[in-house]
Structure 1
Amino acid sequence: METPIVAPESVEEPAPPLIIIGAGLAGLRAAEGARQAGYSGALMMIGDEEHPPYDRPPLSKDFITESAPPEVLLRDVDELTRELDIDLRLGRSAEELDVAGRRVRVGGEWLSYSSIILAVGHRSRSFRTERQEQSLYPLRTMADALRLRERLDAGAGRLAILGAGFIGSELASSARSRGVDVTLLSATPRPLEGALGTQAADALVRMHRAHGVDVRLGCTITEVGASSIVLSDGSEVAADVVAYGIGGEPATEWLAGSGVELDPGGIVCDEFLRAAPHVYAAGDIVSWPSELFERRLRSPHWTPAAEQGACAGRNAVTDAQEPFDTVPYYWSDVYGKRLQFVGVASGEEMVVVHDDLPDGGFLALARSGDRISAACGIAMRRAIVAARRHIRQGTSWSDAVEELVSDPRSALVATR
């Protein structure tokens, strides 16, 4: 009797993972968004730093001012692997993307994906002088913040900061709280004017000077010595340490020729944060078409990055595509006050509606047609919340101004 031949059972190949490139805030929120949307498949996160996702805003604030560096991890490795079931691969960088083949090369190895989310963010724009480059301290990563803190802890008492944007301003405030002498340098005559408007930018400069910061406008550094720097106007400034925060550059050069559309700021996405078939993006590098503002936007700040990450994570694993749009919002903490901005200033001048309230309260609004399009405030938390609501709802200019200006007991209460 012949033994019947039994065909071997076919083994189904597991589906390729969802891969997230970038282990920052946007990447973490993308992973959480995918899991919350019901995705139970394999999920891999690749990050070029050795740290799991951490919070960057404290690096120029609490990380410098507290007696010991605060915990900034958003989730530790155990939470990422146990609660989110992430295959976490840190200290690695993506090198090439093959959109047609649905694969990405990392460390010389090609990895297949079902979908991929690009959340690589920005790298610090470099600054170089002819000598003493070892005395220059960028401030973007946790390693940067640790290095600078160690230098200040070692007794450096004179700090020069190149770049008077949000990071430079926060660092100036933090260093002054430690008793460090600070010189703040801006290559532009009015730092942050494009982001905040003329009046708010001027108010911020006045705050720096009121707290003992030597603000030098319209100049940069030409030479760095052991205990001083030479500026482009020929003056010399005493400095033990030179830190800089002069903006970032999108970490997207490895995507050239991949089929993902790039622009000078990063990645061009559609309204679903999709950059190519099965390719999504989130965070600082993303521009998207905003229906609310009727233009393409990019908002490289904490809140939009978190919102985009969650949306990209959901869209990457579901058939029900969700359009992304938001009212951009960002903030900074300086000298015990919160500076906030919401909306999009579309070239209209910011109109100051209050600058004489307790604790230096300041509020300016921008108008687009018959609508409020942006608001900037110092020590105006509740007013900014109300302004963001009015922008999102398309409230008329007159109605928004009536609430924001005429009722100081509700929306317009200056707070620290």
Structure 2
Amino acid sequence: MRTITVVGASLAGLYAARELRARGYDGRLVIIGDEPHPPYDRPPLSKDFLSGKAGEDQLALCDDEETDELAAEWLLGVRARGLDARGRSVFLDDGRTVVSDGVVIATGASARRLPGPALAGVHTLRTLDDARALRTELAAGPQRVVVIGGGFIGAETASSCVALGHDVTVVEAAPLPLLPQLGPDMAAVCAALHARGGAELVTGTGVAALYGDTSVRGVELADGRLLPADVVVVGIGAAPNTGWLAGSPLALDDGVLCDDGCVTGLAQVVAVGDVARVGAVRAEHWTSATEQPRVAVGNLLAGRTAETVRPLPYFWSDQYGSRIQFAGRRRHDDTVRILEGSTEEGSFLAAYEREGHTTAVLAVNRPRPFTRMRRGLPTEVPAAA
């Protein structure tokens, strides 16, 4: 391969570029990013960056020295708009075409938005520009903030807003936040963090509409209640960025469909990170974005699926001064047992169990025992096909 193009200057895209050079690929390497920024770390956007504890310089994922070592052509601030039928040409929205021997798709996902007219004061939080805009608005002084969605982004944003002195309400349509990830018992424990932290949590009802003339003034709930709001943050999940691939030969269904080795229907095209549905699973986790590229790049260079990967799911979240960590593959019928600490004191280690075996582990403010338990969880390591 003389030219390999990475579409997406994301965490997964950067790891793919690193892996290419680490495996000895010394050909032309092109990295395309729709944002004008070099790769940056997204998790701090809703935490330290939003609260003002971290600056933009601390978000950078690579420094000048590494950039030089990668020896890549960076095409930033330009979107990919298409892929040709053979998967060897990437078309850009500025009219350029990048002809390649191999393509790594790492275009990530975009924040879902509520339907209706655009109102000032309504934000999503997915990109650096999103975080900049929200941080600027929050700096204007104490405001009434409504966060729609009680998932990780919503909860972390709410926590940061409370720390900044704002009046915060979190609206979650499900009976409990994080219910699919943690199950009812542990989801209830984590939901209690909102009240402890100083935010109001409203569950079991969705949002009917946002109201206001040019700027948002409130949130109308599906049950008829009206919540006054000066700022609204919409955290209702993300959709994979696959629109640019419409009309290509790649199969798309909630992401780019890949085999267990991140290889698409074209051997010269692989996909990694939030946009990739690997082995029927699309996992929006930091670990997927950092572990998939190793196998994907190996298969790309081999021209076939020589390795497969199924990373053990792992995520963490910082909320109201507490660190929540989870790893494993929980099923709805698993039982939960507290191994250390207690839910009442807000510091504990819990194991999910099935037929006498530990399937997953959850910790709140117990990082060291969590790490030990995580290492012992059953996992499927990359193996030769």
Query: Structure 1 99/359 Cα, relative in aligned 2: closer, same or farther at 3 Å?
Result: farther
Q: Residues 25-82 of structure 1, C-alpha deviation per residue, up to 9 Å, x if partnerless?
A: 0000000011011111110000111111000000000011125634211125x44641
1:278, 1:322 → 2: CA distance? 15
Question: 1:98 and 2:91 equivalent?
Answer: no
Question: 1:332 and 2:317 equivalent?
Answer: yes
1:182, 1:35 → 2: CA distance? 46
Question: 1:201 and 2:191 equivalent?
Answer: no
Q: How many percent of aligned residue pairs carry the same amino acid?
A: 38
Correspondent of 2:151 among 146, 159, 165: 165
Question: 1:111 and 2:98 equivalent?
Answer: yes
Question: 1:124 and 2:111 equivalent?
Answer: yes
Question: 1:297 and 2:284 equivalent?
Answer: no
1:101, 1:185 → 2: CA distance? 43
- 1:363 is paired with a residue of what secondary structure? strand
Alpha carbons 1:16, 1:112 under 8 Å: kept: no
* Correspondence for 2:245: 255
- 1:133 is paired with a residue of what secondary structure? coil
RMSD: 2.2
* Correspondence for 1:383: 369
2:220, 2:321 → 1: CA distance? 31
Alpha carbons 2:255, 2:282 under 8 Å: kept: no
- 1:167 is paired with a residue of what secondary structure? helix
* Correspondence for 1:271: 260
- 1:331 is paired with a residue of what secondary structure? strand
Alpha carbons 1:190, 1:202 under 8 Å: kept: yes
1:260, 1:370 → 2: CA distance? 42
Moved more, 234-243 or 178-187: 234-243
Question: 1:349 and 2:344 equivalent?
Answer: no
Alpha carbons 1:190, 1:198 under 8 Å: kept: yes
* Amino acid across the alignment from 2:278: W
- 1:313 is paired with a residue of what secondary structure? helix
2:330, 2:167 → 1: CA distance? 34
TM-score (norm 1): 0.83
* Correspondence for 2:290: 306
1:101, 1:203 → 2: CA distance? 48
- 1:95 is paired with a residue of what secondary structure? strand
Question: 1:242 and 2:232 equivalent?
Answer: yes
* Correspondence for 2:126: 140
2:355, 2:246 → 1: CA distance? 39
- 1:100 is paired with a residue of what secondary structure? coil
Where in structure 2 are there 5+ consecutive unaligned residues? 381-385
Where in structure 1 are there 5+ consecutive unaligned residues? 1-14, 290-295, 395-416
Moved more, 192-201 or 145-154: 192-201
2:113, 2:218 → 1: CA distance? 20
2:102, 2:198 → 1: CA distance? 52
* Deviation for aligned residue 1:350: 4.3
1:156, 1:192 → 2: CA distance? 28
Moved more, 382-391 or 354-363: 354-363
2:343, 2:178 → 1: CA distance? 22
* Correspondence for 1:410: none
| Structure-to-structure mapping, 1:168-247, within 5 angstroms | 168-221=154-207, 222-225=209-212, 226-247=216-237
How many pairs are equivalent? 371
Higher Rg of the two aligned structures: 1
TM-score (norm 2): 0.89
Moved more, 17-26 or 251-260: 251-260
- 1:83 is paired with a residue of what secondary structure? helix
* Deviation for aligned residue 1:380: 2.3
* Deviation for aligned residue 1:338: 1.0
2:211, 2:132 → 1: CA distance? 22
* Correspondence for 1:288: 278
Q: Residues 85-136 of structure 1, C-alpha deviation per residue, up to 9 Å, x if partnerless?
A: 0100011111121252622212233321111100111111011345x62221
Moved more, 266-275 or 318-327: 318-327
* Deviation for aligned residue 1:343: 1.3
Correspondent of 1:38 among 7, 24, 32: 24
Query: Structure 1 297/367 Cα, relative in aligned 2: closer, same or farther at 3 Å?
Result: farther
